[in-house]
Structure 1
Amino acid sequence: MKVTVLQTDIVWEDAVANRKRIEKLVEGQEDTDLFVLPEMFSTGFSMNPVEIAEKEEGETLQWMRRMAEEHRCVLAGSLSVSESGMFYNRFYFVCPDGTIHRYDKRHLFTFGGEDKRYIPGGKRVIVSYGGFRILLQICYDLRFPVWSRCRNDYDVAIYVANWPVGRREVWDTLLRARALENQCYVVGVNRTGHDPQCSYNGGSVIINPYGKLMASCEDDKEETASAVLAREPLDTFRKHFPVLGDGDDFNLSL
């Protein structure tokens, strides 16, 4: 499965402009199976959901459906979504056949006031696609290893983020740690540019189960990077070095 990360410079609270930028980055990459976008890719990490949140069947989700069908690929990334009078930071995984998987961010970023504007999710979501089991995660989730602990139930972890420059070393370190401790591929997609609160310099990567870099985007640049994820080396590694089978048993309390 070929995965392409889209490291974008998000235009603040302008969904139309951001969709157009993404379309240009996708052009000419017809061999990609899965495109991964940053957190809140259509607006930036805005704490103004009353103004920017879209309905469940809003324009950006419909656009994701059209793009997935037209390019015969998956589009994945999060949006600010309004549902039943409440707001969610919702990860959409949109398949070319129109199937949509949803994950609501579990760990809301209290330091930035996200918990005062959005409702946390309570369901861990793993999607089966292209021969892989894929865990969906959003930004701050990266700091909580129990939530993303592999219990022989996934092969790829995707983290979409708006992770600022000041904490960039944490992003780099934890992405690699998640790949190593879970013997999985990790796809981490961050934005570049600025919003009213923070600056971002990217760090979008694809990491293999050995913690080695497979592909990366240049810092401070809007661009793409791709890698092919293969089952055989992952399965062989897990079989011959059975770390996951030696892990501690536990239950999550939600």
Structure 2
Amino acid sequence: MEEELHIALFQCHLFWENPEANRKAFSEKFDSISSETDIIVLPEMFTTGFTMNPKNIDEHEGEKTLAWMKFAASKRQVAIVGSIVFKEGAHFYNRLFFVQPDGKVHRYDKKHTFTLAGEHEVYKAGEKKLIVDYKGFKICPLICYDLRFPVWARNTEDYDVLLYVANWPKPRAEAWDTLLKARAIENMSYSIGVNRIGLDGLGHDYSGHSSAYDALGKQLAFSEREEILYVSLSKEHLKTNRDKLKFLQDRDDFNLL
């Protein structure tokens, strides 16, 4: 079992509804990552920005991006995580992929579609939570608006890391900061959020605030500019604090229907 997990958080501008340009930009950025990196985390809808017009995107772009993620993960021997516009059958999804360097792929469809922007009218919501076992850590990846719903993130699986990818706008940055920290404390887990920066094609402004918190709510990383943030997670930190502070054992006993 690995005792540490090294994660690179990519906080950056996105080219609006332009998957090819975004893939090219990220491929170039990948060349600068630390050799210790185990996981690269990209923002929500990292090939398009938070578009509500998925029909503007070629329906094959999702498969192209997934193939690109597999190639990049294998080449650099890191896992790559991020969500994209993905068409399956008659439906569009805001789908997160967790791609391992050995080619194994995990997927999660955003549960809480953002009704304020009409996402629920365009993208089909997911129904299943995902827990990924990777290098000795149990990781629960979620997407943006999911952050506002603590019951969905409730740590009934004894996961180690909550991982949010987002396009979270600047006017509500304080809520983002507060909720990320709260999710760490209440679930006795690491809580990590990766957000974009800059203006999107609709004029919405994003200020980043990508950050990471440990199980006690201590901030480990934070940024408001375009950069790659690095954070190292410790199994010993989790074990020590969970053994000492047995808060998870006092969880209310109920199930989601």
Structures share fold, TM-score greater than 0.5: yes
Query: Of 233, 238, 244, which aligns to 1:240?
Result: 244
Q: Does residue 194 of the first structure (1) align with residue 203 of the second (2)?
A: no
1:233 Cα deviation after fit? 1.4
Structure 1: 5+ residue stretches without partners: none
Give the SS at the match of 1:128: strand
Moved more, 187-196 or 51-60: 51-60
User: 2 CA distance for matches of 1:53 and 1:105?
Assistant: 21
1:31 Cα deviation after fit? 2.0
Give the SS at the match of 1:9: coil
Q: How does 1:198-209 map to 2 (within 5 A)?
A: 198-209=204-215
User: 1 CA distance for matches of 2:205 and 2:16?
Assistant: 12
Q: Does residue 4 of the first structure (1) align with residue 15 of the second (2)?
A: no
User: 2 CA distance for matches of 1:67 and 1:54?
Assistant: 21
User: 1 CA distance for matches of 2:60 and 2:236?
Assistant: 41
Moved more, 44-53 or 62-71: 44-53
User: 2 CA distance for matches of 1:231 and 1:85?
Assistant: 42
- For 1:63, give the aligned amino acid: W
User: 2 CA distance for matches of 1:225 and 1:216?
Assistant: 8
Q: Does residue 85 of the first structure (1) align with residue 90 of the second (2)?
A: yes
The equivalent of 1:143 in structure 2 is 148
Query: Of 25, 40, 62, which aligns to 2:29?
Result: 25
User: 1 CA distance for matches of 2:126 and 2:59?
Assistant: 17
Q: Would you say the 8 A contact 1:53–1:81 is kept in 2?
A: no
Q: Would you say the 8 A contact 2:98–2:105 is kept in 1?
A: yes
1:124–1:56 distance in 2 versus 1, CA, 3 Å? farther
Give the SS at the match of 1:229: strand
The equivalent of 1:117 in structure 2 is 122
1:63–1:3 distance in 2 versus 1, CA, 3 Å? same
The equivalent of 2:175 in structure 1 is 170
Q: Would you say the 8 A contact 2:113–2:120 is kept in 1?
A: yes
Query: Of 202, 213, 216, which aligns to 1:210?
Result: 216
User: 1 CA distance for matches of 2:20 and 2:179?
Assistant: 33
User: 1 CA distance for matches of 2:24 and 2:222?
Assistant: 23
**TM-score normalised by structure 2 residue count:** 0.95
1:51 Cα deviation after fit? 2.1
- Root-mean-square deviation (CA), in Å? 1.2
Q: Does residue 96 of the first structure (1) align with residue 97 of the second (2)?
A: no
Structure 2: 5+ residue stretches without partners: none
Q: Would you say the 8 A contact 2:191–2:212 is kept in 1?
A: yes
Query: Of 179, 187, 209, which aligns to 1:182?
Result: 187
Q: Would you say the 8 A contact 1:193–1:199 is kept in 2?
A: yes
